[in-house]
Amino acid sequence: MFSLKPPRPTFRSYLLPPPQTDDKINSEPKIKKLEPVLLPGEIVVNEVNFVRKCIASDTSQYDLWGKLICSNFKISFITDDPMPLQKFHYRNLLLGEHDVPLTCIEQIVTVNDHKRKQKVLGPNQKLKFNPTELIIYCKDFRIVRFRFDESGPESAKKVCLAIAHYSQPTDLQLLFAFEYVGKKYHNSASSINGVPSGGGGGSLGSNQRTPLFETYSDWDREVKRTGASGWRVCSINEGYMISTCLPEYFVVPSSLADQDLKIFSHSFIGRRMPFWCWSHSNGSALVRMALVKDVLQQRRVDQRICNAITKSHPQRSDVYKSDLDKTLPNIQEIQAAFVKLKQLCVNEPFEETEEKWLSSLENTRWLEYVRAFLKHSAELVYMLESKRLSVVLQEEEGRDLSCVVASLIQVMLDPYFRTIAGFQSLIQKEWVMAGYPFLDRCNHLKRSEKEAPLFLLFLDAVWQLLEQYPAAFEFSETYLAVLHDSTRVPLFGTFLFNSPHQRVKQSTKSYSSTLRGMPASLKNGVISDQEFLPRRNSLILKMKPEPPQHSDSQDRGMEQFFREWFSSPVDLHGVILPRLSGAYIKLWKLCYFRWVPEAQIHQGGFITAFHKLSLLADEVDVLSRTLRQHRGLLDTRCAEPDQGRMYFRSSGPHDTSGTPDFLSSSFPFSPVGNLCRRSILGTPLSKFLSGAKIWLSTETLANED
Amino acid sequence: MEHIRTTKVEQVKLLDRFSTSSKALTGTLYLTATHLLFIDSHQKETWILHHHIASVDKLALTTAGCPLVIQCKNFRIVHFVVPRERDCHDVYNSLLQLSKQAKYEDLYAFSYNPQQNESERQRGWQLLDLAEEYKRMGLPNSNWQLSDANRDYKICETYPRDLYVPRIASKPIIVGSSKFRSKGRFPVLSYYHQAKEAAICRCSQPLSGFSARCLEDEHLLQAISKATPANRFMYVVDTRPRLNAMANRAAGKGYENEDNYSNIRFQFVGIENIHVMRSSLQKLLEVNGTKGLSVNDFYSGLESSGWLRHIKAVLDAAIFLARAIVVESASVLVHCSDGWDRTAQVCSLGSLLLDPYYRTLRGFLVLIEKDWISFGHKFSERCGHLDGDPKEVSPVFTQFLECVWHLTEQFPQAFEFNEACLLQIHEHVHSCQFGNFLGNCQKEQEELKLKEKTYSLWPLLLDDQRPYLNPLYSPRAPVAAALEPNTVSFNFKFWRNMYHQFDRTLHPRQSVLNIIMNMSEQTKQLEKDLTDLESQLNKQRKNKHTDGVLTKELLNSVRPESPTLKTSLCFKEQTLLPGNAALRTIEGSNPADNRYSEYAEEFSKSEPAVVSLEYGVARMTC
């Protein structure tokens, strides 16, 4: 157990279905010696040989030898050496184990030991010394370090400069997505490398692709799905004639004519007039809008809009307006919290933070902000669900905080958005099409003052819900982490642009969407059978008698609403509300600690429970399918038995095979190879003796007997 | 009962401490000989065992009445408002008397009767056998033997009769060593690792002062290392902080001098004493009591309580033990001051990390029986079973359970038992309902004749294991060997289900555990359906005359649609929660509002608890 076993050549791809089905991949010719694996359109810019990749911070014993290349897409370290101390190899279809996409690089530091010099490299900078060491800090909390002791000094320097140059482009057109000409991933409707695209496969997925809300019909379908009456799809923004940060089609109150809208639009910042997000089955609608520029006009315009929204409500209920700028932390504060969190998780040695871990975590304020968004969203859920009021989210530009709040409300209220297809359509609807400035917020182009991790904050908040209601979601936390990672892979257009207009303007070809490539293997095993996930307005739900507490809901206070909701049994296909007390808002360890070797629990962690759970879910699935076959009820779904299955599959009923030994708390990611701050070496006992913290007694000794 | 002045108070309000709403449940408060009972207007019953009451406080009179706050050892806090001050005063005084008994014979265990006959009672006490356990470890063998030195508790009163020592350690050496050890607790074997031929041994601190030596003690330690063939050195682990151990030297106690013992490696691991632990828990309870609701100061409050830091220290020490044995095949001798608190924690956790048997339900109970009960952890003093010195009370065993819980969280598949099992044990360590945890050592337990006068807890846990089993348990997992937990500070978290177990408003709405239990149940049902159908099919095939269409129809008529397929998860999960009627009737302690039956209750009104109420009333009337 504690011995250092030689690494085992287990080679599994977490993005693909498990080995029994991916013979195709295994039989592909082996990668040639120290040749980079390039994507179509990718070119090598610079390379240097005899580079050492550091594995531990205080010894070179485990270092890997190889070649470092910089391409227009990634930096790649190519080696023949097997990774030490690692049982599981994380493989991404696009990126090798040692690859870092250029857009994921946060900071590049070059060091010269002999001259004791160090320089943070920006684009187009000169380097006056030959680097002996290159340290790359990544946006996803990784740190990679290379040594150039044996490599040619000039070529080492050139590679460093190339990385600095290409990782910090000044123009959008320089991003790799514009070079990428891959056909493999491009607009492939049916399958991506054998993995079904669209809603993640499964019984729902085959005929249901993620709606991208680029067309009239997608919006129209969404209006019909939610049963919204009094709302219509309007196409006045076709060709982005009105606003460049609104989608071409959006939904407005039926009582507002196109002509009115055109006039109103001038009053709003960015001409972002109110647009509909979602409707509750009781008729209350969720609407987002920007602030009215002109203070004098404000009241009149507001009044008109509110009247129109009221008219669209079947009960003519009032409108509840929520000014997000006043109630929630602003993006600068959120960014500051995130920077502190990163500092805590990545940069500081654990020996120093250990004793003060909890208060340091609290001081970052990250959890506080996650909680604030969840709390505010839950309160607005109360307005929609219980008070039956339409809710208008107001924000200066309406493109940042409203994205988070609007999506969270819908995740809490509508079970459809807790499926993979639904969640992806939600991101497409409330983020991509609603004009969340991904380009600025992800900082793909090094204009750092606009950077803010709002999308991550949203995923974190969803994770909190997932943590509290594990069976309410179709996807798993790995899915959320991979979704977050995909914002840093500049291959697909989804997370590259500031607005749908920019995307259309900048591109002459259509991009495939990240959201269409999510494989079924990221499915959450906890969810109950998909057949039972009714759409919000489907007949099944309407025929169900309303729970009694809903009848006299008009005058109840918010607190009572929450108390009653929490004291009745959960309906996973209905509303879910987060618990917000201190112990419930937790740190998303998989996301923030997956690259930290010290944080790993070998052969433990939640993943081992998930493994067992997957086997059980799979067993249930296989058995019910067999049952159906016996009954002659074989339907089309059974024709593709592998599509909806879990990543971990049982070999048969009563599968007693134990937990695979490559599992660790950071699975499917592996932190080995990421630079760690403390040695992972030495005999375990000596390490323990030297590294273990001995708590000094600070308390009085008087009582010791 | 002479202490009970008022048996029934009406119009009492029960407040929820985590709700800011002024709305409260109104009901009637009953005082029985053993329990405090509150029945609210919805006929929901709240039972509180008198022995569970840690403190009763009367707050300042308000317009609504006189507030009475009761804090329990199982972390339940109830806040009553009694309309009349006189009633409140009576209840207050009665509870003060009833919750603190002066004599063992007045404890609930001596009157509790779960309607078992004598042979059932006997069987309960014989369920676990420590002699068997030492046999399982492979003892006695060529290096270790059973010593009869303490047969009559002559050498050490607080040790058990049966002790394993190195074969080459003669009786004079043992006697000599025991005189050099605090309370006579000389080094004996606690766990033997067969594969590595190394042992975990335990003792109390040596009476070394600044320079005293004892040749017999030095011999005994040498004998232990000679009994460990693979490594000629052994570790001596002093679980105290260095400063505390040094301070003890002034009192003629202290720690081993490496110069005098030729074969030892000495190590402090810095676990704080019982007083520090007690006040740390107090701070923890303050934090989760009020600040639990805000995310802002919860974490820093948790940190300043120091509780998780102490838990980490205990686990780190246990990992040290496990590593010494697995990596270096070295024996380890563990002590603290008297060798019954920190030593018990560290030895038992070390064994738990090393041996998968202790991670089974039965094995875990054996571990508690061995390292805690038989080796004389002072349960009665530490839990405050009797009205005694409050400075002797300390949550040492609670800490052990919490360490185990942290391990189950890090390795969800490695343990056969679940959280409910840990909570149930914690409940009964304090309930004084069973004899297992009464008294402070084996000798005292024998004097109290517990095996004749009281019942054992173990049958409750072992006879119907279902509620206590972990559905994720995979016994053949690679972790079947030693566990290697990660003790970086952020892997420690607040144990909500322990410290908030009665605060229903703070419970999670859904737990993975329930879902899995549900799923397993579903699998079983489907498998049954499948075999049913297959056997039907075979029958049909034998009847060669039947044609295909008929077969199909027949099959469909067997079970038109599996019920499990139809039932949606959210309703199904409720019924599968542990906490069936059978459990409640045996258990008796908190019958009606058992925390696991809460959800079930919402669907089926719980039956009135037959247990002990009847009995309590009977006692009350006489």
Residue type, A280: H
Q: Is the peptide bond before A668 cis (omega within 30 degrees of 0)?
A: yes
Q: Does pTM surpass 0.90?
A: no
Residue B434 has pLDDT above 70, yes or no: yes
Tell me what pLDDT residue A683 has. Answer: 28
Tell me what pLDDT residue A84 has. Answer: 63
Strands (E), A353-480: 390-395
* Exposure class string for B164-197: b at 16+ Cβ within 10 A, else e: bbbbbbbeebbebbbebbbbbbbbbbbbbbeebb
Question: Is residue B201 flagged as an active site residue?
Answer: no
**Model confidence band, residue A87 (pLDDT cutoffs 50, 70, 90):** low
Higher pLDDT among residues A553 and B224, named by residue = B224
Dist. CA A334–CA A543, nearest whole Å: 43
Tell me what pLDDT residue A515 has. Answer: 47
Q: How high is the mean pLDDT of chain A?
A: 76
**Confidence check on the interface: ipTM exceeds 0.95, yes or no:** no
Tell me what pLDDT residue A547 has. Answer: 36
First to last CA, chain B: 8
Percent of chain B residues past pLDDT 90, beyond the cut:
60
**Model confidence band, residue B39 (pLDDT cutoffs 50, 70, 90):** very high
DSSP letter at A49? E
Which region among A188-202, B137-151, B299-313 has the lowest average model confidence (pLDDT)? Answer: A188-202
Interface with chain A: mutation pick from B17, B469, B516, B523, highest number of A CBs within 10 Å: B523
Judge: B486–A611 Cβ closer than 8 Å, yes or no: no
Tell me what pLDDT residue A349 has. Answer: 60
Highest mean pLDDT among A437-451, A499-513, A643-657, B64-78: B64-78
Percent of chain B residues past pLDDT 70, beyond the cut:
82
**Chain B neighbors of A611, CB-CB under 8 A:** 413
Tell me what pLDDT residue A692 has. Answer: 34
Judge: A2–B490 Cβ closer than 8 Å, yes or no: no
Which region among A449-463, A666-680, B412-426 has the lowest average model confidence (pLDDT)? Answer: A666-680
Which residue among B66, B203, B336, B347 is the active-site one?
B336
Tell me what pLDDT residue B498 has. Answer: 92
Residue type, B264: I
If contacts are CB pairs under 8 Å, which of residues 546-585 in chain B contact chain A?
552, 555-556, 562, 565, 568-571, 574
Dist. CA B153–CA B442, nearest whole Å: 9
Tell me what pLDDT residue B330 has. Answer: 93
Residue B81, strand partner residues: B13, B67
Summarize chain A as % helix, strand, coil (round to 5): 40, 15, 50
Which region among A121-135, A198-212, B165-179, B454-468 has the lowest average model confidence (pLDDT)? Answer: A198-212
Residue A625 has pLDDT above 90, yes or no: no
Which region among A33-42, A162-171, A676-685, B515-524 has the lowest average model confidence (pLDDT)? Answer: A676-685
Residue B508 has pLDDT above 80, yes or no: no
Residue B315 has pLDDT above 70, yes or no: yes
**Model confidence band, residue B441 (pLDDT cutoffs 50, 70, 90):** very high
3-state SS class at A700? coil
Tell me what pLDDT residue A288 has. Answer: 95
CA-nearest residue of chain B to A620? B523
Which region among A32-46, A552-566, B387-401, B595-609 has the lowest average model confidence (pLDDT)? Answer: B595-609
Minimum-distance CB partner of B523 among A468, A619, A684? A619
Residue A687 has pLDDT above 70, yes or no: no
CA-nearest residue of chain B to A577? B509
Please write the tens of the pLDDT for every residue from B529-558.
888 888 888 888 777 654 544 444 444 443
Residue B559, strand partner residues: none
Tell me what pLDDT residue A343 has. Answer: 84
Tell me what pLDDT residue A172 has. Answer: 82
* Exposure class string for B58-96: b at 16+ Cβ within 10 A, else e: beeeeeebbbbebbbbbbbbbbbbbeeeebbbbbbbbbe
Please write the tens of the pLDDT for every residue from A275-292.
999 999 999 999 999 998
Q: Distance between alpha carbon B614 and the CA centroid of its chain, in Å?
A: 29
Q: Å from A277 to nearest chain B CA?
A: 28
Specify the pairing of strand A285-290 against strand A390-395: parallel
Minimum-distance CB partner of B303 among A359, A587, A688? A359
Judge: B478–A653 Cβ closer than 8 Å, yes or no: no
Q: List C-alpha distances in Å: A349 to A354, A478, B60.
A: 9, 26, 50
CA-nearest residue of chain A to B328? A685
Higher pLDDT among residues A28 and B357, named by residue = B357
Percent of chain A residues past pLDDT 70, beyond the cut:
72
Q: Distance between alpha carbon B335 and the CA centroid of its chain, in Å?
A: 22
**Model confidence band, residue A143 (pLDDT cutoffs 50, 70, 90):** confident
Higher pLDDT among residues B305 and B570, named by residue = B305
Residue A496 has pLDDT above 70, yes or no: yes
Looking at residues A305-333, what average pLDDT do you find?
A: 93
Residue B288 has pLDDT above 50, yes or no: yes
CA-nearest residue of chain A to B295? A582
